[in-house]
Structure 1
Amino acid sequence: MLSIITVNFRQLDVTLELIKSLIQFAPKESEWIVVDNGSQKDISALLERMDSRVKVITSEENLGFAGGNNLGINEAKGDFLYFINNDTIVTKSSFQPLLDSMQDEKVGMVCPKIQYYYTPNTIQYSGFTEINPFTGRNRVIGEREQDKGQYDNVKKTYFGHGAAMMVRRKVIDEVGGIPETFFLYYEEMDWCKKIRKAGYQIQYNGKAMILHKESITVGKLSPLKEFYMTRNRILFMYRNYSIIYFIGFFLFFMMLSFPKRYFFLLNKDKKLNSALKAGLFSALLYLFNKSMAQPKDGLKYA
């Protein structure tokens, strides 16, 4: 059986649109787990009335992307777990090609091609390059290109995309759930590293496709995104690379990346600049004493 897991955070209308697309295209032999993260009101009755395959799990606390999905993992009964953002819309091809990929026992995770919902036939994701250990950067293959079928192939890739990733249950039992250290951003990258170290492949299957309303969740520029992208980039490099590589990366980050970003945001919004500095401070706290400073209440999901 296939378990489809999504996390809702105060975006009921967005989640309803996803459920409607699941009703149209999801396999009959599937369960749909909606984790209502940081719930302010009970939405379970409304969603569960839409289809018998819907099951709502309520968390009064906002557990973030990783924690919310891990709640779903604990309830899932499927051999394959398909994690999809609530701001996605599934299509006719969003399922079977990925299930076909999972017939290969070496595949631990497989991801579909992702197109931007609001710009038809424009690619958001068709695989990732490896991360440069000195800069901490990599590249999304095909991003912003017009989809002319050039990425309709099936291939190994270095990282999956958190908006849509199917993972074998056996792999989760072996390596554990999504790392919750990150709360938001980079957690799927860290997870992919663990899956690859366990000997499994991360695969991209361009025969499958899903649509993503990327800007709805947190926006292109937001204090929330700035904080976690800054902090978690440093944490990811620290957790996954040797001390030599990390020192090289950190020097690059402090001498080039951080100042460049700082002056760019200086002309944009003071809140963004404050979030950037707070993210760096939080990362340094983690590096020196393993404590984790979360944003102030006004920043979290700002």
Structure 2
Amino acid sequence: MAEGKRITTTPLISLVTINYKQAQVTCDMLESTKTLTYPRFEVIVVDNDSKDDIAERIQQGNYPNVRLVVSPDNLGFSGGNNLGIQHAKGDFYFLLNNDTIVTPNLLEQLLIPFSQYPDVGVVCPKIRFHDQPTIIQYAGYHPLNPYTGRTWAIGLMEPDKGQYNQPGPTWFAHGAAMLVSREVLKKAGSLDDSFFLYYEELDWSARIRRAGFQIYYQPDALIYHRESMSVGKANAMKVYYHTRNRLWFMRRNVAGFPLLIFYLYYFCLALPKALIQYTLPWQPTYLKAVKDAITWNLTHTTKALAPMPMPVAVAGKY
């Protein structure tokens, strides 16, 4: 990466989060934003047709700079964030899960890579589990395996002993927390609404890198994440969107021989394994979710994009 000019002003950061029937969880996150030391930020809470008491809780909580945007429909993760971005005034958009807890110097640390490297478009913090605060959830992403459609977070489930304290570019952003520049939206667009839930940040990351930006991991920024609070650890909706969007992501981002190998792997190995997993304990709602996910892909067409570029090496990290 080429050295860039440091940010000399204090840009406005728009923090966008989504509430879906989790008013208390959302307010726990908002409470943690009171500790943020960065002087210029606004908070936009998008309520995805929750019909809960989030408005009253926000009013009673005396949260600084918070605006509530109510959607009459559940727009999912993609659509909810896109709606929040439409109402944002910031120079940067910080998309943050409502089931997170922030740390005081988070925003200052996330801004640093933007001032150092002109081609950085997204910066993600180190993420640890809220209930296991010394255990890592995210310290960057491994590259996608184009034959299996799998990737996984670096450091996942490892105790944090400082082994991933080197900042640098990474393959994918993490949907729980990503600071995105306004320039990214101008050149790469926003999240794709077709995903609704899951894989949307991977697809967006691929488009962002195709547009010439780097995705950067900043370990000096830290959040804590209560994973899977919005949809639960396992349910039919999660099975449906994981199945549907894994196929959809691969069809949009992989082409040629690797995509053919993926189809063979998925339909000959991964899918039969899932069907057995849901058949033996007899979980018909999960089986229906898989069927509906496959049917959706059979009835929706897309054009595969160019191969994803590799992250640029920095200080020997890659």
TM-score for both structures, normalised by structure 1: 0.91
2:287 counterpart SS class: helix
CA drift of 1:139 comes to 2.2
Aligned-partner residue type, residue 232 of structure 1: N
Decide which of 282, 287, 290 is 2:296's aligned counterpart. Answer: 282
5 Å matches for 1:204-283? Answer: 204-268=217-281, 269-283=283-297
1:39 pairs with 2:50: yes
1:181 counterpart SS class: helix
| Pair 119,41 (structure 1): closer, same or farther in 2 beyond 3 Å | closer
Larger deviation: 277-286 or 261-270?
261-270
Distance 1:43 1:221 in 2: 25
Aligned-partner residue type, residue 221 of structure 2: A
Counterpart of 2:18 in structure 1 is 7
- Name the % identity: 42
Decide which of 80, 89, 96 is 1:68's aligned counterpart. Answer: 80
CA drift of 1:261 comes to 1.5
Distance 2:237 2:40 in 1: 37
1:26-54, Cα deviation, whole Å (9 max, x unpaired): 52310000000113156335314522400
1:86 counterpart SS class: coil
Distance 2:130 2:103 in 1: 11
CA drift of 1:55 comes to 0.5
Counterpart of 2:118 in structure 1 is 105
1:210-267, Cα deviation, whole Å (9 max, x unpaired): 0000031222211111100100010101111113322221111000110111112223
Counterpart of 2:99 in structure 1 is 87
1:149 pairs with 2:162: yes
5 Å matches for 1:48-197? Answer: 48=59, 50-103=62-115, 104-197=117-210
Aligned-partner residue type, residue 6 of structure 1: T
2:94 counterpart SS class: strand
Distance 1:92 1:30 in 2: 13
Aligned-partner residue type, residue 3 of structure 1: S
2:34 counterpart SS class: helix
| Pair 139,185 (structure 1): closer, same or farther in 2 beyond 3 Å | same
Return 5+ residue gaps in structure 2 as ranges: 1-11, 303-318
Aligned-partner residue type, residue 144 of structure 1: M
Counterpart of 1:296 in structure 2 is none
Return 5+ residue gaps in structure 1 as ranges: 289-302
1:28 pairs with 2:39: yes
Aligned-partner residue type, residue 28 of structure 1: P
For the aligned residues, what is the CA RMSD? 1.5
Contact 1:3-1:80 at 8 Å conserved across structures: yes
Contact 1:48-1:55 at 8 Å conserved across structures: no
Distance 1:128 1:280 in 2: 27
Contact 2:23-2:57 at 8 Å conserved across structures: no
CA drift of 1:140 comes to 1.4
Contact 1:48-1:54 at 8 Å conserved across structures: no
1:182-223, Cα deviation, whole Å (9 max, x unpaired): 000011101001100011001111111100000312222111
How many residue pairs get aligned? The number is 288
1:206 counterpart SS class: strand
Aligned-partner residue type, residue 80 of structure 1: F
Distance 2:293 2:259 in 1: 17
Contact 2:130-2:225 at 8 Å conserved across structures: yes
